[in-house]
Structure 1
């Protein structure tokens, strides 16, 4: 599996407030994060952050325009902070992106290259947003991919099921948090 890192993407206060379905998402994600720490796997948090006034948002970009209208992702606003239930620990890395993929407008590629990371484990909100965009981008970069379906969440459960069940298995290993934590646990 190479040198791995767990990416925790867009699990920010406002996003969790919109998407959390009461299924125990944050405790499952916390389990994945704790498992990564115990196994010595780096945890990289990826957050969406737009400058006040949104100079990086084109009116041609439908998704970002709707995000701006909803008041989401403005740097410095409390809702843009990583949710406190899964907050970074000392040594964790936080990367800020400007678009859908964790790589777009961020220094994630540099962080991975410097550390020799060639395998990513993906978790985040939304499955049809950051997870999908990052899977596509990372696949094009020839990175080994694992998606934790129960550590991903989407506003549309049917879209989540389709992506996890049909699309992602073409490019990534799809395993539950418990399966992954068990596989990486120190012996």
Structure 2
């Protein structure tokens, strides 16, 4: 059994699909411009070839939004705009990424994939020590994963060309802030082990 996992963070239709609400806006421009879907799929194929398990982390709320914090600057618009609703097309992983039946599915209700989710139990049960990760956005879920993973004593590897934020400036600033806590690589250079 491998001691690594590749976590693909928040690559769901509401955020990254061209027909999704955010895919038609700034996130979509960054996703297309940085080739995030193509790069992530290439990394996924490499991880699978190396027999490294894959986990898809998705943000989502019950249809009545019972888990959605009403005063959160980042999530308060979800209810109003009808997005991130579990069981809907919007919270499904983008189809180009080729999610498989054996992949881990981690649903979160906040920015961090560690907060009130099954992630820690999965990592411990499988003896995972190294987390490869990428996703959207660099300055939210990716940063939270790196910082919290670091503080839980995991080795963290970020695939920089599989991440983006609302702007290139936000992405670059987030990556600069993460350098002390993780190792950086790309979908082309990554060696899954």
Common fold: TM-score over 0.5 = yes
Residue among 24, 48, 52 paired with 2:63: 52
SS of the residue corresponding to residue 69 of structure 1 reads helix
Give, in whole Å, the separation in 2 of the partners of 1:71 and 1:129. Answer: 21
Matches within 5 A, 1:1-187: 3-17=3-17, 18=22, 19-21=27-29, 22-23=32-33, 24-164=35-175, 166-180=176-190, 183-184=191-192
Determine which structure has the larger helix proportion and give its number: 1
Match of 2:171, SS state, is helix
Alpha-carbon distance, 1:106 to partner: 0.9
Question: Could you say what secondary structure the match of 2:160 adopts?
Answer: strand
Give the Cα–Cα distance (whole angstroms) in 2 for the partners of residues 160 and 11 of structure 1: 16
Query: In structure 1, what is the Cα distance between the partners aligned to 2:11 and 2:94?
Result: 6
Distance 2:158 2:192 in 1: 14
Aligned residues: 181
| 1: CA distance, partners of 2:138 / 2:7 | 13
- Distance in 2 (alpha carbons) for counterparts of 1:134 and 1:31: 21
TM-score (norm 1): 0.91
Deviation for aligned residue 1:59: 2.5
Which deviations, in whole Å up to 9, do the C-alpha atoms of 1:3-28 show, x marking residues without a partner? 11100011001100322332321111
Counterpart-to-counterpart distance in 1, 2:69 and 2:186? 37
Q: Which of structure 1's runs of 4+ aligned residues deviate more than 3 A?
A: none
Alpha-carbon distance in 1 for matches of 2:184, 2:78: 29
Q: Quote the offset at 1:116 in angstroms.
A: 0.2
